[in-house]
Structure 1
Amino acid sequence: MRNSTHQPWTRASRLALASVAALSATPSLATELRDPHLNFIPRTDEERARIAAVTASPEKFSAPQRFEELSAGAATVRVRTDADAFSQPSANISFEQELDFKVGNGLFKKIWVSSPSSTLASDGLGPLYNARSCQRCHIKDGRGHTPNGPDDNAVSMFLRVSIPGNPEDAPAKIEDYIATLPDPIYGGQMQDFALAGRPAEYRLSITYEEDPIELSDGEIASLRRPTYHAADLGYGRLHPDAMLSPRIAPQMIGLGLLESIPVEDLLARADPDDEDGDGISGRPNIVWSLEFGEPMMGRFGHKAGMPTVMEQSSAAFSGDIGISSPLYPAPFGDCTELQTNCIDAPHGDSDVRGFEIDQIGMDLVAFYSRNLGVPARRETDDPQVLRGKEVFHTSGCASCHAPVYVTHRMPDRTEHSFQLIWPYTDLLLHDMGEGLADNRPEARATGREWRTPPLWGIGLTERVSGHTQFLHDGRARSLLEAVLWHGGEAQAARDTVVSMPKADRDALIQFLESL
């Protein structure tokens, strides 16, 4: 989001010269950063110019843009009226690929059990964990939620934890990397469940204070300000310098398409030194890729801490469920050496079976995750929605929530290849102000920075997940509250929303609900 005194989407005009802009954005790394897909056809200058024209900001808002209703291009799926709206395969996968999608779905839903077990294909849970399946956090492939009252557990929500590291703990090839280490006892993530006979690491405790906000035309909104506490610690005290950060499971749709946006297009939108003076200084998170063994641009996670769907999925199996895989081979998951009853527990690795989920299984889970279809837009020609779209652009929201891209040409991934998509994100890090700060860095992301989340499908959250909780920790109970939490680089745009006529504010929300 940006100040309304600036013209929206100034970065879009630079896409025709994306490679030059990318070099200026991160001079030491731009020439080295690779895309997640190795097999793609490089663009010509002529093709870049055509893409820049197709993805340019609209000049008029009296009618929808061409193909705007197809959020994911040819991969777009029809809008279901039930809670399975996010659980459909991309519309353009082949008949043969549908089997891989269904088997991957089965692994995504699989309920893991403790070892040893007669169900050898499903044992290896924990010993410490947050959920027994991927689906338990990403319910219906949608957004997680905060605990519903003091007696509810925190399934689909947990606390990340780390302590400050030393410069030598940072990857040598990544500039501005903020070194951190896992907590010596609790590791990198707090698990609130454990196998029988072992204590869980903690219980997540949240308290809220209401903060009323006066808007124009007499409207009053209220923001709930959370305080988090790791209660009932099962293994002793946290490190005195421990940094805790809450996380809600995000929706799963469109991940393969986000992975297929050319890195040069994303870097072209970066302006870390705010050279154009618009107050927006998005920058890429650069992380070390276990999959490729080199620095890559982070795309996934609330702070863009993961570069690929495969790595994100493998890390979740390890940290959330305690399941080993080729990228995360520890059979005890996130347990530390000081948690000896966890390290010494039976596990599902074996000489015959190998990892608790092997590479074939991970490939199927990653295929499923990459190909959860994005539902079509609704009401794109509604006058109120069109007015809300205009407000979205003129208020500056599109500066970070960049609407549209064209993916790479990829002969081996035709379902993601050369698609015009509308995810509404730049996947870059932005300073969102003190109100949203978790004060915990992640790779190059500071304690005030967050990745711009994609907005596609956000209007279907209540249909899929049964709630309207937004932001990284679910504190916002509506889309309006989510907007009002914006600060830092988005402060001017947020203030514009506060002061605009209520009719325009309502139109903006209706536009967001159409995505």
Structure 2
Amino acid sequence: MQLITKFLFITGLLVTLSACDKPVSDTANKVRIPVFDQSEIQTAGGITHKRLYASYLYPGEKLSSKQQLDFWTGFSFFRDPWVAAPSATGNRDGLGPLFNTRSCIACHTAGSRAKIDEAGQILPLSLVVRLGSTDPAITSVDPVYGGQIQPRSISYRLTDAEIIKQSSYTDNVGEAWLDKSYDKVLGNFVDGEAYELLKPRYKLTKLAYGELAPHIGISVRLAPNIFGMGLLNAIKTDDLLNQEDSTDSNGDGISAKYNRVPNVITGEIEVGRFGFKAKQPNLHQQVAAAFRDDIGITNTSFTDETCTKTQVACNYAAKHGGHSLADLEIPDNRLDFTVTFNEFLGVPPARNLQSETVQRGRALFYQAKCQQCHIPSYVTDENYPVKALAKQTIWPYTDLALHDMGEGLADGVYEFNASGREWRTAPLWGIGLQQYKTGQQRFLHDGRARTISEAILWHGGEAEPAKQAYVALNKQQRDALVKFVKAI
């Protein structure tokens, strides 16, 4: 197994960093804390950023000149907006007919998370509204709206009288608006300090094609951080599956489960790695799906437009809007460059990890057993085809597995094997720099948490004991633990 540290307390022993390392014991809490390793500073191995930049949008340090050139070529497709066809900009047309945004960077500001949409009636941009079944026995998406609300559209109006007679929907229009509001959730830490959480309420309004099907629920998500995804793609599947314990056979209260999802190219069922519910099995499919679902750009992985049969004007816009349906809107070479950009997108080095306060927070992180889901470290597959990503010691703090996070975070929506209470463990590397790099920090799947502390307080389900351990800390200890998470 290529894990540097598995950190699961199976049989009460911790797998240490190496044979000569001796973990520090915390006898009061019966937790063994691993010795600090210098590799923790270079969080992404050779794909770590050379220094702290003003954004996450830089390649890893140890890449060749050719790899860096490919990275910046892919960045152009990530950054530049797409336009409706036909257009003089032949290599950037094909937008829509329905879409969320015109470019990748619009939702992934600085390679991170765009500014969250304000409360009220909004035409969402950074927030994506996924649609899914609330009934595990029904696997179909909404028959009218598909699997995602696309609030924007290119302009197209049916003019054929015979076609108009057959449909009530003669204009191609965005599918819906989102009504977002917040309730306050008040609480206190054990030491008496008060806290306030924001619990979002979501409702779709101005539905352009009628109501959702009765079994369909909505799941609102804030576009995630994308740095380091190439290295997550390079972790051996066996190393992930060795962490799976869906029935909690070891009795530690943690039931890591991997989503099983289709590879759309091969047709094989594989382990899900990407997306808030681990819906996509690899980075190429994640990027290809985002092009089609978010921007309306068809490709060899997703050849069909997102228009459903009810959306007659959308289908005719796709057919007659200047782009032949036989021609994919992003050819493989440009899609591959965009995937390469994502593969080589580096991760910032850790900051001040060896300071006394951060080391104290590191110890508290392990004492609270946060590492049971936020697995600290791996060595990527030595046979991974992209050699720059192979055999790298990385510290992402995730198991990429699904966990029951409790009713407070539940959306009620199923995605393949993921239930309405289950979410993939989010990587922690680099998240402490979001404020510095984007001007805002928002956490969790829908950005409801304004601070790392709030994100911890939303944890429930399998993570309830870790949250309660955090709530029981005094302020100085809480601050130290948060500083550690900000530093990694």
Indicate if the aligned counterparts of 2:71 and 2:344 stay in contact, CA closer than 8 A. Answer: yes
Indicate if the aligned counterparts of 1:163 and 1:239 stay in contact, CA closer than 8 A. Answer: no
Partner of 2:416 in structure 1? 443
Indicate if the aligned counterparts of 1:13 and 1:56 stay in contact, CA closer than 8 A. Answer: no
Partner of 1:481 in structure 2? 454
Partner of 2:388 in structure 1? 415
Partner of 1:183 in structure 2? 142
Correspondent of 2:154 among 190, 195, 199 = 195
Please list, as runs of the form range in 1=range in 2, the aligned pairs for 1:219-234 lying within 5 A after superposition: 219-234=193-208
CA distance in 2, matches of 1:163, 1:260: 31
Aligned-pair identity in percent equals: 39
Q: TM-score, normalised by structure 1?
A: 0.85
Correspondent of 1:425 among 382, 385, 398 = 398
Question: What's the CA shift for 1:62?
Answer: 9.8
Question: What's the CA shift for 1:204?
Answer: 1.3
CA distance in 2, matches of 1:228, 1:411: 42
Is 1:396 aligned with 2:369? Answer: yes
Q: Structure 1's 299 and 417: CA in aligned 2 closer, same or farther, altered over 3 A? A: same
Q: SS at 1:218's partner residue?
A: coil
CA distance in 2, matches of 1:58, 1:299: 32
Q: Structure 1's 482 and 493: CA in aligned 2 closer, same or farther, altered over 3 A? A: same
Partner of 2:76 in structure 1? 106
Q: Structure 1's 445 and 479: CA in aligned 2 closer, same or farther, altered over 3 A? A: same
Please list, as runs of the form range in 1=range in 2, the aligned pairs for 1:23-172 lying within 5 A after superposition: 64-82=36-54, 84=55, 86-150=56-120, 153-163=123-133
Q: SS at 2:398's partner residue?
A: coil
Correspondent of 2:437 among 435, 459, 464 = 464
CA distance in 2, matches of 1:326, 1:237: 32
RMSD of aligned residue pairs (Cα, Å): 2.4
Indicate if the aligned counterparts of 1:15 and 1:268 stay in contact, CA closer than 8 A. Answer: no
Q: SS at 2:391's partner residue?
A: coil
Question: What's the CA shift for 1:162?
Answer: 2.5
CA distance in 2, matches of 1:99, 1:364: 10
Q: TM-score, normalised by structure 2?
A: 0.89
Question: What's the CA shift for 1:220?
Answer: 0.9
Is 1:514 aligned with 2:487? Answer: yes
Question: What's the CA shift for 1:139?
Answer: 1.1
Q: Which amino acid aligns with 2:102?
A: R
Indicate if the aligned counterparts of 1:13 and 1:52 stay in contact, CA closer than 8 A. Answer: no
CA offsets, 1:67-120, max 9 Å, x none? 1100001221134252x2x10011122111112111100011121111222222
Which ranges of 4 or more aligned residues in structure 1 deviate by more than 4 Å?
11-16, 50-63, 164-167
Correspondent of 1:207 among 155, 171, 181 = 181
Q: Structure 1's 426 and 206: CA in aligned 2 closer, same or farther, altered over 3 A? A: same
CA offsets, 1:393-427, max 9 Å, x none? 01010000000000011364121010100000000
Q: Structure 1's 152 and 237: CA in aligned 2 closer, same or farther, altered over 3 A? A: closer
Bigger drift between 241-250 and 479-488 goes to 241-250
Indicate if the aligned counterparts of 1:103 and 1:364 stay in contact, CA closer than 8 A. Answer: yes
CA distance in 1, matches of 2:142, 2:292: 16
Please list, as runs of the form range in 1=range in 2, the aligned pairs for 1:259-298 lying within 5 A after superposition: 259-298=233-272
CA distance in 2, matches of 1:472, 1:12: 33
**Alignment gaps of 5+ in structure 2:** 1-5, 26-31, 157-171
Partner of 1:244 in structure 2? 218
CA distance in 1, matches of 2:12, 2:251: 16
Q: Structure 1's 9 and 193: CA in aligned 2 closer, same or farther, altered over 3 A? A: same
CA offsets, 1:114-138, max 9 Å, x none? 1222222111111111000111111
Is 1:378 aligned with 2:337? Answer: no
Q: SS at 2:358's partner residue?
A: helix
Question: What's the CA shift for 1:354?
Answer: 2.8
CA distance in 2, matches of 1:313, 1:154: 20
Question: What's the CA shift for 1:196?
Answer: 2.5
Question: What's the CA shift for 1:11?
Answer: 5.2
Please list, as runs of the form range in 1=range in 2, the aligned pairs for 1:8-27 lying within 5 A after superposition: 9-10=8-9
CA distance in 1, matches of 2:458, 2:22: 28
CA distance in 1, matches of 2:130, 2:384: 38
**Alignment gaps of 5+ in structure 1:** 1-6, 17-49, 168-178
Partner of 2:162 in structure 1? none
Q: SS at 1:181's partner residue?
A: coil
Question: What's the CA shift for 1:464?
Answer: 1.9
Q: SS at 2:265's partner residue?
A: coil
Question: What's the CA shift for 1:375?
Answer: 0.6
Partner of 1:341 in structure 2? 313
Question: What's the CA shift for 1:210?
Answer: 0.3
Indicate if the aligned counterparts of 2:23 and 2:34 stay in contact, CA closer than 8 A. Answer: no
Question: What's the CA shift for 1:10?
Answer: 1.9
The total of aligned residue pairs comes to: 460
Question: What's the CA shift for 1:303?
Answer: 0.5
